[in-house]
Chains A and B, each alone.
Chain A
Amino acid sequence: MAVDERSLWEKIADKLRSRSLWMLHYCTGCGAMELPPTMTSRFDMERFGMGPMATPRQADILFITGYLSAKTLRRVIYTYEKMAEPRYVIGFGSCTLNGGIYYDSYATINRLDYYIPVDLYIAGCMPRPEALLEAFNELMRMIRRGEANGWKKYKENYEWYKQNQIRSLGEVFVHDEFHE
């Protein structure tokens, strides 16, 4: 089956999913600063049905807010693999695209796309809450049209992602947290 083929039930479910996106309350870098104003009174993210969730089991979206160090990458991968299946990733700012101002740092990864599939990037350093809301609306449109299928790509190209993850994290295998 092709990646973007959906049954009628999937289309209905995608409509529901787009109106009820629970984000994981987990932030990696400076872009997290823009989330509190987006959540609270002035911009009010909840009117789209979005809200923070404390645990990856219940979350639908994972935000990579800004730079991602190699140490945090391991946690991000654990978290992403814990989330329930239709799951979406949004990358904030230029750091997730090409490393941003940390492009030559030894401890920061340059391109998020090599490690986990990213559905949507938000340009800017840092993106304002207006840009975030625009991105959330765009993600909802993508989910309704069935274009936000990074989680399917992750399943199909798992070997490739795994190779990249292991290469970036050194010789340690990803699944074993307690024997690093």
Chain B
Amino acid sequence: MTILKVIAVLLTGFFVGLTLEGIARKIMARVQRRYGPPWYQNFIDVFKALSKRGISHGWIFDFGILMALGGVIATLAFVPLGDLVAFPGLDNIFIIVYLFAVGALGMAMGMVGSGNPNASIGVARALTQMLGYELPYLISIAGVLYYYKTSSVSGLMMAQQDTWTLFKMPIGGIVAFVSLLGMLGKKPFDTPIAPAEIASGPMVELSAKYMGLLMLMHTFSIFVEIGLFVDIFLGVSNYFTFLLKFTIVWIIATLISSVLPRFRIEQVVKFYWKVPLSLAFVQVLFVLLGWVF
């Protein structure tokens, strides 16, 4: 039964994730007054990338990519998609945050193993940016955990029967959404993968099959990140309302990212540590004082 549920979670991640990425490209095109690629374009891209013959840079490179994909898949198995919970009772937020770092570190290890200086710069930027967004995100989540007195993600979701956390703690919700933009690598915070400056950063040496695996990893990690946000802040949901809320959050993030230019890396960290971090502390103070709507 657990295996079936895990397979269902992964298949949802694969099909819905790739479809939504295609829809995001379409939306981006419409904002720029273009026609845009078809919605299934990302499926074609992934299968094409997997059909080509790539070049490896040694076993650290291969192992890093497998570790990134495996780490993210393992994390996704713990994230509750609405009422589809693969491991009931184990969907703890600390497990998810802890496991999710495995994917990022695997990617960092593999990409640095390729030996390209651009990849090293990109990985350094990605980890620096992580330092930026993790702090406000986790502090705002800590406020939520303190208020509901539980760290289980489905417990947090079930605790919002009357009102959504987003309306109870609006400042924390906004902080988490801004941090989410950084996690997704969306436009103001796409410093790690800046094609114009460092030639796609970490992905610079990824050819063919490796690129396909990394695109899959990106899809799954989008699912983990937005899924956590939806579960914690957007009320109680079953499988279908979860996907609806997921789509809406993803589209809003895409719309914001399609009109903004890129921060430099020190601007990213300065921004995160000035505005969202102070707001997160304000939210935690409100929670401690009992000022929750």
Contacts and interface: CB of A to CB of B under 8 A. Distances in A.
Interface of A: 13, 16-17, 19-20, 25, 40-41, 44, 46-49, 52-55, 57-58, 83-86
Nearest to B41: A49
B47 A16 contact: yes
B196 A54 contact: yes
B32 A16 contact: no
B203 interface: yes
B252 interface: no
Contact of A25 (B37, B195, B203): B195
B282 interface: no
A80 to B, nearest CB: 14
Given A54-B199, A84-B54, A20 B48 contact: yes
Interface in B26-79: 29, 32-38, 41, 44-45, 47-48, 51-55
Interface residues of B, number: 30
B53 A44 contact: no
Given A54-B195, A84-B55, 11 more contacts: A13-B48, A40-B32, A40-B34, A41-B32, A44-B29, A47-B29, A49-B37, A54-B199, A55-B203, A57-B55, A57-B207
6 contacts: A17-B51, A25-B195, A40-B32, A54-B204, A57-B206, A84-B52
B40 to A, nearest CB: 9
Contacts of A49: 37-38, 41, 44-45
Contacts of B32: 40-41
B26 to A, nearest CB: 10
Q: With a 10 A CB-CB cut-off, give which of A44, A48, A53, A54 has the most chain B CB atoms.
A: A54
B200 interface: yes
Contacts of B53: 84-86
B45 A20 contact: yes
Q: With a 10 A CB-CB cut-off, give which of A20, A55, A83 has the most chain B CB atoms.
A: A55
A53 B51 contact: no
Contacts of B55: 57, 84
Nearest to A51: B37
Given A20-B44, A41-B33, A86 B25 contact: no
Interface in B1-32: 25, 29, 32
Nearest to B206: A57
Contacts of B29: 44, 46-47
Contacts of B41: 19-20, 49
Given A57-B204, A85-B52, A46 B44 contact: no
Given A46-B29, A85-B53, A55 B34 contact: no
Instruction: Give the top 5 A-B pairs by smallest Cβ distance, nearest first.
Output: A54-B195, A13-B51, A57-B207, A84-B207, A44-B34
A49 B45 CA distance: 8
Contact of B200 (A13, A46, A58): A58
B151 to A, nearest CB: 40
A25 B200 CA distance: 12
A44 B35 contact: yes
Contacts of A84: 52-55, 207-208
A47 B41 CA distance: 9
Contact of B206 (A25, A44, A47, A58): A58
B204 A55 contact: yes
A41 B34 contact: yes
